[in-house]
């Protein structure tokens, strides 16, 4: 018996792990059935073949990583006079993406005088760039990006973010939704990622524990969605080796 690669679904969708069964001969096997514990059993019907695939469904109710429950394989033959069964722990997983939901971003705003001062400042990155908004400063970023006027007033480090006139850039940033609880923030970021990918626009992702560079491809989208799904989730070693 073999399990397929990790399944990926969104919250609320029906998840299913597909199992492939193989037998070594065409010898008749009767009344063999299997099920996840607590779920409806399914018969294992070989027909004339040596292999069979079964899909075991269950609904993904929350974001994160779902490990498959224990599989029960049993036979009550003939007529229930002989009963045999075994429990088979599986190392199969379902990666559940956040439920996509639209939400309004909130950037840290400057006063009109500060905004004017910042927009007149030369961009540390060079090129034709204009001041866009402030984001929370992260350790290790260039000190030249810090808005010292804002720090003097608030005693909080913020960095200056710039928009480029040369090319359109989109950053999905955890800090753009201050005061929003974790799951809702992830839902907002998920919605943004799906929308920008559908529009063929490159985008980046910034989470408190992870940054993914700006890109545009279906593989990039999967990487971003997986980062959102597994945010603050402990990932088993065997799954880490087989991801993507």
The more confident residue out of 6 and 103 is 103
Kindly list the structural domains of the chain, giving each domain's residue range(s) and its CATH number in brackets, ordered by start: 2-97 (2.60.40), 112-237 (no CATH)
- pLDDT at position 241: 58
Window from 52-61, 70-79, 104-113 with minimum mean pLDDT: 104-113
* Pick from 89, 61, 67: nearest CA to 235: 67
Which whole-number Å values give the CA distances from 202 to 125, 138, 164, in the listed order?
A: 19, 23, 14
- pLDDT at position 23: 78
pTM, rounded to two decimals: 0.63
pLDDT tens, position by position, 114-160: 444 444 444 444 444 555 567 777 787 787 778 887 777 777 887 77
Window from 63-67, 72-76, 157-161, 223-227 with minimum mean pLDDT: 157-161
- Backbone phi, then psi, for 25, in 5-degree steps? -150, 170
The more confident residue out of 107 and 205 is 205
The more confident residue out of 177 and 70 is 177
The more confident residue out of 15 and 95 is 95
pLDDT reading at 166 higher than 90: no
- pLDDT at position 122: 47
**Cα(107)–Cα(4) distance, integer angstroms:** 42
In three-state form (DSSP H/G/I as H, E/B as E, the rest C), the secondary structure along the chain is CEECCCEEEECCCEEEEEEEEECCCCCCCCCEEEEECCCCCEECCCCCCCEEEEEEEEECCCCEEEECCCEEEEEECCCCCCEEEEEECCCCEEEEECCCCCCCCCCECCCHHHHHHHHCCCCCCCCCEEEEEEEECCCCCCHHHECHHHHHHHCCCEEEEEEECCCCCEEEEHHHCCCCCHHHHHHHHHHHHHHHHHCCCCEEEEECCEEEEEECCHHHHHHHHHHHHCCCCCCCHHHHHCCC
**Cα(75)–Cα(124) distance, integer angstroms:** 71
Share above pLDDT 70 across residues of the chain, in percent, rounded to a whole number: 75
pLDDT tens, position by position, 16-48: 777 777 877 777 667 788 876 666 777 877 777
Average of per-residue pLDDT values in the chain:
77
Kindly state the tokens that stand for 208: 């408190």
**Cα(168)–Cα(165) distance, integer angstroms:** 7
CB burial of residue 51 (10 Å; 0-12, 13-18, 19+): exposed
């Amino acid at each position: 018996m073999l399990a397929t690669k990790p399944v990926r679904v969104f919250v609320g969708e029906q998840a299913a792990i597909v199992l492939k069964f193989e037998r070594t001969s065409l010898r008749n096997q009767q009344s063999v059935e299997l099920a996840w514990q607590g779920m409806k059993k399914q018969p294992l019907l070989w027909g004339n073949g040596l292999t069979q695939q079964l899909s075991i469904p269950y609904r993904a109710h929350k974001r994160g990583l779902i490990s498959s429950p224990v599989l029960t394989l049993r036979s009550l033959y003939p007529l229930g006079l002989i009963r045999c069964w075994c429990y088979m722990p599986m190392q199969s997983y379902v990666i559940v993406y956040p439920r996509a939901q639209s939400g309004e971003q909130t950037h840290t705003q400057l006063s009109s005088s500060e905004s004017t001062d910042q927009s007149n400042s030369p961009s540390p990155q060079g090129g034709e760039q204009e001041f866009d908004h402030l984001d929370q400063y992260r350790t290790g970023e260039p000190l030249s990006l810090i808005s010292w006027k804002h720090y003097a007033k608030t005693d909080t480090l913020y960095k200056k973010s710039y928009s480029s006139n040369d090319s359109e850039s989109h950053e999905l940033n955890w800090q753009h939704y201050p005061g929003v609880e974790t799951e809702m923030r992830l839902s907002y970021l998920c919605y943004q990622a799906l929308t920008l990918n559908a529009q063929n626009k490159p985008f980046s992702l910034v989470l408190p524990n992870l940054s993914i560079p700006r890109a545009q491809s279906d593989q990039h989208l999967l990487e971003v969605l997986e980062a959102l799904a597994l945010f603050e989730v402990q990932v088993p070693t065997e799954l880490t080796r087989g991801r993507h």
